[in-house]
Amino acid sequence: MKKYFKFLPFLLLSFCLVLNSCSQEEILDIDDNINAKSASIESSFEIESMLLSLSDYNLKDLDEESAQLLIEPIIDQTVSQLISEGISEQEIIEEFGSLKSPNLIHMSLAMVASDKVEVKADTVDCILRATGIQAIHEAFWGNFTNRRLLLRAVGRLATRAAGWIGAALIVADFVLCMNDN
């Protein structure tokens, strides 16, 4: 009988552990987390598909107004994605000047690249080529653990763009690079 009592504390501990391991609230939180991550990835794929859909556009006839019409839906999707991830409109405005800034196209490209870094290294290379920032390397992207850090970094780099036409040319270069690969 003493032999069985030795295992009683272990059994009680195991039983308590099983009962308390996952409450229904924790399971719901885990499900919400998984759903939020998959929505984030789907949104990045949506941004990428919007970028790639511009590949058929003739850049010879590009003026500032048509460039703005091409880029605005991508920027709107990027802002929506950032807000859904908990970044406030005020933070976006602080980094880019407005919610409609053409420099947000850099953030669009960075979001696509950061979500696809492990899947497709060519995306990062295309981002580097499109923005002209050769100092950023694949290891550098790994340092961005959240979108806020990425937002600040891209916001500082975005000042390179020359308005709507510059943003459209960056997108065009990205699209051409992605189609080549």
Render pLDDT for 137-167 as a digit per residue (tens, 0 to 9): 443 545 555 556 556 556 555 545 556 667 7
pLDDT above 90 coverage of the chain, percent: 0
Q: What is the model's pLDDT at position 134?
A: 43
Q: For residue 148, which of 118, 103, 114, 105 has the smallest C-alpha distance?
A: 114
- Structural domain boundaries, residue 82: 43-180
pTM of the model: 0.48
d(CA 173, CA 153): 21
Q: What is the model's pLDDT at position 119?
A: 47
If one counts the domains in the chain, the total is 1
> Residue 18 domain-assigned?
no
> Residue 141 domain-assigned?
yes
> Residue 24 domain-assigned?
no
d(CA 178, CA 108): 15
> Residue 23 domain-assigned?
no
